[in-house]
């Protein structure tokens, strides 16, 4: 018992003298660690005469609790002292204004998608959601692009491990979903969403981008309706007077087909890297829905007609905000995300 009292006195004196956390850890090793003095005492209880063991065991455990509590209290005191020293040394200026929180912002692509949806909304278009993971059949076959058709090369994509299931290369397969859902009712929808292409990435082409498909089906829908809709859209999106150019083109799912360019805002139509020195930037493809596609959607092409278009909102944002590289949209550079829009 005398030994235990001496141990207690020594331990308490040394703990009071420990000035740093490291010193308290060394103290712990000396007294409470695996080979510490108190641990050894408790381990040696079995060597004591049987009648002394209970008393010695109780006293040993009591001392263990006492020392553990003392260690905890000492360490807290040292931490507190260290913090006070640091604060005093660094001289915290409590009158300094706080850090401004950074506010999130809608991504430029989504912002453009919303603007597009708003403009078409005013023209009576509803938003129709269709899947990004598509069947080969919807992405190609039902859009009049059978296996082996050369247009498939233009729209090479990413394939899943499930045969016949791919990432869509355009929003056009949504036309099939919408037609099959609404037939025989008239349709006036836009279908926004992400598309994927196995593309040589450049300032104008990314391998993931957005498109907004437009689809109108009804009786007596004409090419004039298509043109009027797109001119009205461009006037609202870019401001009255931005020149728009319709070029004849080819898409297997529209006939006739056009590509529509807007005057390049970056170079004031003088010619630059982005517009490939033409003064024009292609923003969309469009045309009258091909009779085979109408039929695949369930509509009788002798009775119904329709137009469709597919535009790239990133390209539109590039034109509107003078962005010279499409890759900025998805590289998460905060400076870009903060500046645009
Ligand atoms: C199509 O994807 C057709 N589905 C569009 C269409 C719909 C035509 C309905 C007729 C009727 P195209 O591959 O040209 O066509 O793409 C349309 C638009 O998407 C382009 O004008 C461009 O704005 C955008 N786009 C295409 N590829 C990329 C790309 N790699 N990166 C960014 N934008 C792209």
Q: Which of 285, 289, 308 to mutate to test the pocket of ligand 1 (most atoms within 8 A of CB)?
A: 285
Q: Of the candidates 181, 190, 182, which has an alpha carbon nearest to the alpha carbon of residue 211? A: 190
Determine the Cα–Cα distance for residues 133 and 122; give it in Å rounded to an integer.
30
C-beta separation of 306 from 288 below 8 A? yes
Structure tokens at 15: 């703990």
C-beta separation of 251 from 287 below 8 A? yes
Half-sphere exposure of 239 (CA within 13 A, CB side): 5
Determine the Cα–Cα distance for residues 185 and 183; give it in Å rounded to an integer.
5
The pLDDT score that the predictor gives to residue 35 is 93
- The protein residue whose alpha carbon is closest to atom 23 in ligand 1 is 312
C-beta separation of 159 from 120 below 8 A? no
145 CB under 6 A from ligand 1? Answer: no
- pLDDT tens digit at each of 341 positions of the chain: 788 889 999 999 999 999 999 999 999 999 999 999 999 999 998 898 899 889 989 999 999 999 999 999 999 999 999 998 888 888 778 888 999 888 888 999 999 999 999 999 999 999 999 999 999 999 999 999 999 999 898 898 999 999 999 999 999 999 999 999 999 999 999 999 999 999 888 877 889 999 999 999 999 999 999 999 999 999 999 888 778 899 999 999 999 999 999 888 778 778 887 788 899 988 999 999 999 999 999 999 999 999 999 999 998 998 888 888 899 999 888 888 888 76
CA of 95 to the centre of ligand 1 (A): 56
Half-sphere exposure of 312 (CA within 13 A, CB side): 25
Q: Of the candidates 217, 249, 252, which has an alpha carbon nearest to the alpha carbon of residue 143? A: 252
The pLDDT score that the predictor gives to residue 2 is 80
Structure tokens at 147: 């296996």
- The protein residue whose alpha carbon is closest to atom 20 in ligand 1 is 284
- How does DSSP assign 18-65, residue by residue? --SHHHHHHHHHHHTSTT-HHHHHHHGGGGS-GGGHHHHHHHHHHHHH
CA of 267 to the centre of ligand 1 (A): 22
314 CB under 6 A from ligand 1? Answer: yes
Q: What is the pTM of this model?
A: 0.73
CA of 291 to the centre of ligand 1 (A): 21
CA of 155 to the centre of ligand 1 (A): 9
Quick one: DSSP state of residue 113? H
CA of 46 to the centre of ligand 1 (A): 85
- The protein residue whose alpha carbon is closest to atom 21 in ligand 1 is 284
The pLDDT score that the predictor gives to residue 92 is 77
């Amino acid at each position: 018992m005398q030994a235990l009292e001496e141990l207690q006195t020594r331990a308490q004196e040394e703990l009071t003298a420990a000035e740093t956390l490291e010193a308290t850890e060394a103290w712990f090793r000396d007294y409470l660690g695996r080979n510490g003095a108190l641990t050894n005492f408790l381990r040696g209880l079995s060597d004591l005469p049987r009648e002394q063991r209970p008393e010695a065991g109780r006293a040993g455990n009591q001392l263990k609790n006492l020392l553990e509590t003392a260690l905890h209290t000492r360490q807290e005191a040292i931490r507190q002292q260290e913090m006070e020293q640091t604060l005093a040394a660094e001289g915290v200026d409590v009158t300094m204004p706080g850090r401004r929180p950074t506010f999130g912002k809608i991504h430029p692509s989504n912002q453009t998608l919303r603007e597009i949806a708003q403009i078409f909304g005013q023209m009576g278009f509803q938003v129709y959601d269709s899947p990004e993971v598509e069947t080969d059949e919807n992405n190609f076959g039902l859009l009049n692009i059978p296996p082996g058709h050369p247009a498939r090369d233009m729209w090479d994509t990413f394939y899943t491990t499930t045969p016949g299931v791919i990432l869509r290369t355009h929003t056009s397969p949504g036309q099939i979903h919408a037609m099959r859902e609404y037939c025989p009712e008239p349709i006036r929808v836009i279908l926004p969403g992400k598309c994927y292409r196995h593309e040589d990435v450049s300032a104008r082409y990314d391998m993931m981008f957005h498109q907004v498909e437009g689809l109108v089906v009804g009786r007596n829908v004409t090419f004039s309706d298509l043109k009027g809709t797109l001119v009205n859209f461009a006037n609202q999106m870019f401001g009255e007077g931005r020149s728009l150019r319709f070029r004849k083109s080819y898409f297997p799912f529209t006939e006739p087909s056009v590509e529509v360019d807007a005057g390049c805002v970056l170079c004031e139509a003088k010619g630059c890297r982005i517009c490939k020195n033409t003064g024009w930037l292609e923003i969309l493809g469009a045309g009258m829905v091909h009779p085979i596609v109408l039929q695949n959607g369930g509509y009788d092409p002798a009775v119904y007609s329709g137009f469709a278009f597919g535009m790239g909102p990133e390209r539109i944002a590039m034109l509107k905000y003078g962005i010279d590289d499409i890759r900025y949209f998805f590289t998460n550079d905060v400076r870009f995300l903060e500046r645009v829009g």
